[in-house]
Structure 1
Amino acid sequence: MPTTRRQATLEKNGELVKPETSSKPAAKTGRGRGRKSKKQSQEEATIAGDKRNAEEAAQNKEEEPPSKKPKVDDEPSTEQGAKSDTGDFSPLTGEHCTIERGHIYFFYRPKVQVEEAESLDDVRNFQILLVPRPPAFAARDDQSKVDNEMEEDSEMKLLSAGADAVPAAEPKGQEKKKFRVITVGKKQLPDPDSGGSGRGRKETFWATVGSGRGRKETFWATVGTVGEDLNKLENGLGEKEYETKTRGKRHEEPARLAGRGVYAIVNDDPSTPSKRETHLGYHLTHPSPSELGEVQSEMRVYPASSFIIQVRNPLAPVSGGQRVGLSQGRRAEYPERIMKEVFGEGTRGRDGSGLRFSTVNRPELLDYEGAELLLIGARSGEEALETSLGEGRGEALKEAAEKEEDESIQEVLKELAMDGGKIPAEPLKGEWL
């Protein structure tokens, strides 16, 4: 029945149509409250219960003394030596990502009881010293800080390609500075221009990666010392005397400085994970190309070069029963998070020990004494260095080396807080000592 005059008129004229059903719920009136559905009753009961719980929780919180404040679950761990377990050692992404830069030094030490080395045969060990530094544009003197954001943005735009590979200048005379000493097994760097000896060891299967013809030359290396006390470093490289039961007093000459330069460690990110590589590339500042001699030639310390680094899993068994690398008790003791996240312990490998080798996803992998490395010859020469590091980093290292090549050897040794009279630097002229 029409309820309004307009509806009655429309019905009389045959124009009244049925109104469309609205999607909105009809307004409740007093008559419609008599009966509720079971679902509506349950929902209202739930809302009422939640409201009561919230009120009770608020009341309890007000009555609770401050000393019993609950501990926040996501508070970071303060355990000694602990780091965040969320991605600390996950691979860095992005093509040609610089993970570390700094200054590199090459030392050799004559054999015991040998006063002067005349060739590589008289060398006891050959060592690489890495001294990490922040990028050059990140190290500013307090007086030169720029407070204006516009000026900072302008400065960042002026950074040349590859600037992230250039280390800041070494502060001189400081006794605290992070360093690593790496001993190379063959007393020389792997030749990047050689196809390798092809000994067929399964342990050198990584030598096939990278560009080049055939299997690359691969040498073992070991991280011997990691620290920040440069006095300890000087003592380790200095002259030594000790007593033995069978041969009496023994004498070791101090290590000799054979080269110094700038370096960068770069990770790439190819489309295929199995082709990932970590490259360590360097450009010498000392000696200059005209002063290179027999020492640098035999140790293959070229003006500019690069090699691939792989880190060995300390738990991985040696295939074929071969005796290579350090004994089990002398290998690096990585924490569990590294073993799982980097090597895949428990999930990868035939026996669950994980991958036998890994790229240097993070430089922390080199900060453990006893870490075993594979050094694989990659490329030599300035153009080849650029190929290895990519994105202008090779050229940037060259420019940085040219700026530092005028520093005297005394200044270089002061960077390491060393006495120039205790660490001979004459081999920088290319002649054995």
Structure 2
Amino acid sequence: MSEALEDGDIYFLYRPRVGEQHVDSLGEVQRLLVVLHPWHGRRRLRLLVVGRKRLPEIDEHDRFWAFVDAVVSRPEELYEALRPHRYGTKTRGERFQPPARPAAEGAYCITRHDDHTHLAYQLELPRRPGPPQHELRIEPEASYVITVKNPRAPSPPGVGLPGPGRPELPADLQERFRTRRFAPLDPPRFLDHRGVELVLIGAAHDASAELGIDLDAEVERAARNTIFEDLRIGRAERPEAPLFTAQWR
């Protein structure tokens, strides 16, 4: 059996590569973003960036790095991370970075299961996943073992964040590592610190059965708003097609 540590709304977005007005495949995606919006305690939103531009393969038990890119108290504060950007370069002139586009939404639960922790979710939208969700590996329901990297421990070559940006955790959280390089995501307060690095490992397609949790009930609670209402992002500048019709845009 598992113990729920946190639940809330989960949103998946992708950021197109610079200059790509229309996305037709994963090759034109720069980043996969995940927003976690807990329902209880101090209201906050955490923006996570997932490495390799997609979620880990469940059946292969892939291990992907991720990190906390922003922690804010109001949806408006996420605008800078999600908005379009224009900037000048010496060699190519003005460049345009399109806004992040919603790809899926639903409910999530962080659970303690034996000696490790899981991030599990179930989608509310899109009703039927299409090419964007398949290529980004956003399953209708899934579970991932999730661990936190000790910010004082070195990273393997070529992975993780550069050393100077490492977070300084409160003493009670840092003590959770003891002498280990990784620790379970317990408590989820680890996610409230920008720069915290995570490892996601594909675990199960049927998260409800694996963890003994009722994700259907969680989704019913999450269905009150869509990403547009909850995060207050404009529909005009962010195409709805990936979320409602499950097509690239």
Report the TM range for the smaller structure's normalisation: over 0.9
Decide which structure has greater helix share: 1
Corresponding residue of 1:229: 74
Corresponding residue of 1:188: 54
Deviation at 1:377, TM superposition (A): 0.2
Structure 1 unaligned blocks of 5 or more: 1-94, 136-175, 195-215, 271-275, 345-353
Q: Comparing both chains, which one has the higher relative contact order based on Cα–Cα distances under 8 Å and sequence gaps of 6 or more?
A: 2
TM-score using structure 1 length: 0.54
TM-score using structure 2 length: 0.92
Q: 1:247 to 1:336 in 2, by over 3 A?
A: farther
8 A contact 1:281–1:388 mirrored in 2: no
Corresponding residue of 1:162: none
Deviation at 1:416, TM superposition (A): 1.4
**Counterpart Cα distance in 2 of 1:333 and 1:127:** 23
8 A contact 2:65–2:160 mirrored in 1: yes
**Counterpart Cα distance in 1 of 2:210 and 2:191:** 20
SS in 2 for 1:249: strand
8 A contact 2:7–2:107 mirrored in 1: yes
User: Is 1:133 aligned with 2:44?
Assistant: no
Cα distance per residue 1:4-46 (max 9 Å; x no partner):
xxxxxxxxxxxxxxxxxxxxxxxxxxxxxxxxxxxxxxxxxxx
User: Is 1:303 aligned with 2:137?
Assistant: no
102, 107, 118: which one aligns with 1:279 = 118
Decide which structure has greater strand share: 2
Deviation at 1:334, TM superposition (A): 1.2
Q: 1:182 to 1:256 in 2, by over 3 A?
A: same
Alignment of 1:27-426 (within 5 A): 96-134=2-40, 177-194=43-60, 216-268=61-113, 270=114, 276-288=115-127, 291-318=128-155, 322-339=157-174, 341-344=175-178, 354-380=179-205, 384-390=206-212, 393=213, 396-401=214-219, 411-426=226-241
8 A contact 1:108–1:256 mirrored in 2: yes
Deviation at 1:242, TM superposition (A): 1.6
**Counterpart Cα distance in 2 of 1:328 and 1:335:** 18
8 A contact 1:332–1:372 mirrored in 2: no
Count matched residues.
Answer: 248
Identity %: 36
Provide the alpha-carbon RMSD of the alignment.
2.0
For residue 122 of structure 2, what is the amino acid of its counterpart? Answer: H
Q: 1:250 to 1:177 in 2, by over 3 A?
A: farther
Q: 1:331 to 1:230 in 2, by over 3 A?
A: same
Structure 2 unaligned blocks of 5 or more: none
SS in 1 for 2:73: strand
**Counterpart Cα distance in 2 of 1:284 and 1:413:** 16
